[in-house]
Amino acid sequence: MATAVNGGVPLLSSQAYLESTAVKETRGLVSELCRQFYTLGWVSGTGGSITIKVHEDSIVKRQQLIVMSPSGVQKERMVPEDMYVLSASGEILCTPVKKPYPHRPPKCTDCAPLFMKAYEMRDAGAVIHSHGLESCLVTMLHPFSREFRITHMEMIKGIKGHGYHDELVIPIIENTAHEGELTESLAKAIEDYPKATAVLVRNHGVYVWGDSWINAKTQAECYHYLFEAALKLHNLGLDWSTPLHGSIHNSKGYEYTNRQQAGSVKAQLQNRNPVPEPSRHCIILDIEGTTTPISFVTDVLFPYARDNVRKHLTATYDSAETQDDIKLIRAQVKDDLEKRVPGSVPIPSEDSGKDDIIKCLVANVEAMIKADRKVTALKQLQGHIWRTGFENKELQGVVFDDVPEALGKWQATGIKVYIYSSGSREAQRLLFGNTAHGDLRKYLCGFFDTTIGNKRESRSYSEIYQSVGVDKPSQILFLTDVYEEAVAAKAAGLEVIISVRPGNGPLPDNHGFTTVTSFTEV
């Protein structure tokens, strides 16, 4: 055992600890996985890399040592002695012995600064960098897209925080001539996509991280499966990003499912009789007053959250999820107090009594609900409270009767449908997943909430345009009942229709937008 300090915690930089069983086993594990990944085609030609933290129960993860594979070494021939050992801050503590010609002098992986970002920003236990061909090719399907999206595939369940019905979104960053130059863009992607456990590098490969080496390996296998599935579906002319994986509409606006159909369309184009390009490739739907009566939100959902917030906070106070909710509420209240927002009251410090903290949290949440605040902190907490209501069958989602038929029609014609609401994405999924018409999530490609931006700001719609895989913002139709949202979306270049439903607020005179009273008119 290594030299110990502080009641048995090993001195990590000591030679004794560097030669300990835990470090040796981790070195051996990295070399074993490199050989396995070589057979999968993930680390051929000395490309790709892997790093794992040295697990010790007595050492917090952020202080654990790091083992990394070297650069420029045949991965299938690696041995434990080839590995580098680094401190938690990235300082090299142990370097491999130089080998005779034709081996190169030892060098730590060029991925090291990128690996460190995953450790620092995600508290990862292991990171895998793969050059698997499918992870490279999948970034070329849409050369200008900044994201890879896929939904309704069983293996999505293997990705942390995702289920079968969810849309898996992986950011794509642009490649550079040297690996280390990717560090800044990788860090930005990690920051911008807090739910992601992978980042694709265009024409290059993928970085995948997990809480442990097992979790990272499992997710990497699932990601590669999903990349390969997308490529094969693309070859069949099928859309991997929609729930039913129907035929792809290509950039000229026609469908193709096999070579014969593609040839037929080519002949039409040569005869100067092209199929007209559809004006809408994507529809974005608001919820309140558009798909769902305002009364359901104001008379059912809001009162349920208000009446159950104290019970929810008390029952789940010590959970990581609720502590995260409280952290967001604290930040929002701090900002509200500085701006003197009516109804906001100071929240006691974290070391105060639980009952006192909950009392002030409830007061702030009730004030936010009463004022119909569209802030992420409130919407996230409400979503978690509503989840309990849906699980206990105390709540059931409500949509207008024309909505399910329209969703099915749009999907059948290849139009992607998304939701954009001030309610959290979890709340959106709960509403559409538990309706009297059944689970409507099968018709939806994804969900956006205010984490992408305020609904009355045009840049929010520009961000959505960049995310849904269309060539022009005018190919997106946005349906809302709120005039200010319509103005913002139009400013971003989207087509806009205003929904006029029972109970909706009045519109300005001469507002200039097309209106509908039912989705059957769209």
Residue 267 lies in a domain: no
DSSP 352: S
pLDDT beyond 80 at 263: no
pLDDT in tens, 24-68: 999 999 999 999 999 999 999 888 999 999 998 889 899 999 999
Q: Residue 470 — pLDDT band, cuts 50, 70, 90?
A: confident
pLDDT in tens, 67-112: 999 988 888 988 999 999 999 999 999 998 888 888 888 889 889 9
Q: Are residues 209 and 354 in the same domain?
A: no
Mean pLDDT along residues 271-292: 75
Range of the domain at 378: 294-391
Between CA 194 and CA 204 the distance in angstroms is 22
Q: Which pLDDT score is estimated for 4?
A: 47
Residue 260 lies in a domain: no
CATH of the domain at 369: 1.10.720.60
Q: Are residues 416 and 330 in the same domain?
A: no
Residue 276 lies in a domain: no
Q: Are residues 449 and 481 in the same domain?
A: yes
CA angle 478, 489, 195 (to 5 degrees): 80
Helix axis angle for 183-192 and 112-122, nearest 10°, is 20
Q: Which pLDDT score is estimated for 313?
A: 95
Q: Are residues 115 and 59 in the same domain?
A: no
Q: Which pLDDT score is estimated for 262?
A: 41
Between CA 113 and CA 252 the distance in angstroms is 42
Q: pTM for this one? A: 0.60
Q: Are residues 419 and 286 in the same domain?
A: yes
Please tell me the total count of domains within the chain: 4
Q: Are residues 286 and 422 in the same domain?
A: yes
pLDDT beyond 80 at 169: yes
pLDDT beyond 80 at 12: no
64 neighbors 56 (Cβ within 8 angstroms):
yes
Q: Which pLDDT score is estimated for 252?
A: 35
Q: Are residues 421 and 378 in the same domain?
A: no
Q: Are residues 515 and 408 in the same domain?
A: yes
Q: Which pLDDT score is estimated for 216?
A: 97
Q: Which pLDDT score is estimated for 121?
A: 95
Q: Which pLDDT score is estimated for 80?
A: 94
The helix (run of H) or strand (run of E) holding residue 315 is helix 302-316
Torsion of CA 457, 459, 465, 466, to 10 degrees: -150
Mean pLDDT along residues 449-461: 92
CATH of the domain at 407: 3.40.50.1000
Mean pLDDT along residues 382-408: 94
Q: Which pLDDT score is estimated for 316?
A: 94
Residue 250 lies in a domain: no
Helix axis angle for 320-338 and 354-370, nearest 10°, is 60
Residue 180 lies in a domain: yes
Greater confidence (247 vs 377) lies with 377
Among the three residues 108, 129, 145, which one is the final residue of a domain in this structure?
A: 108
Q: Are residues 286 and 403 in the same domain?
A: yes
Instruction: Judge whether 154 counts as a catalytic residue.
Output: yes
Token pair for 111: 């991925």
Q: Are residues 408 and 464 in the same domain?
A: yes
CATH of the domain at 103: 3.40.225.10
User: Per DSSP, which regions of 334-463 are E strands?
Assistant: 416-420, 446-448
Work out the number of other CB atoms within 10 angstroms of the CB of residue 289. Answer: 21
Which of 81, 154, 277, 521 is the catalytic position?
154
pLDDT beyond 80 at 219: yes
226 neighbors 156 (Cβ within 8 angstroms):
yes
CA angle 239, 466, 461 (to 5 degrees): 115
Residue 266 lies in a domain: no
Q: Are residues 460 and 492 in the same domain?
A: yes
- What is the chain's mean pLDDT, rounded? 89
Q: Which pLDDT score is estimated for 518?
A: 96
Q: Residue 261 — pLDDT band, cuts 50, 70, 90?
A: very low
The annotated binding site for substrate is made up of 111, 421-422, 455
Whether residue 102 is preceded by a cis peptide bond, meaning omega within 30 degrees of 0, is yes
The residue count of the chain comes to: 522
Contacts of 88 (CB under 8 A, 6+ apart): 12, 62, 63, 64, 65, 66, 119
Among the three residues 57, 88, 108, which one is the final residue of a domain in this structure?
A: 108
Greater confidence (480 vs 468) lies with 480
Give the residue from 460, 461, 466, 463 showing the smallest Cα distance to 478: 461
Q: Are residues 286 and 418 in the same domain?
A: yes
Q: Which pLDDT score is estimated for 15?
A: 83
Q: Which pLDDT score is estimated for 98?
A: 86
The annotated binding site for Zn(2+) is made up of 129, 131, 204
Q: Which pLDDT score is estimated for 10?
A: 60
Greater confidence (269 vs 181) lies with 181
Between the CA of residue 184 and those of 114, 175, 229, 364, what are the distances in Å? 9, 12, 30, 38
Q: Which pLDDT score is estimated for 309?
A: 95
The annotated binding site is made up of 111, 129, 131, 204, 286, 288, 421-422, 455, 481
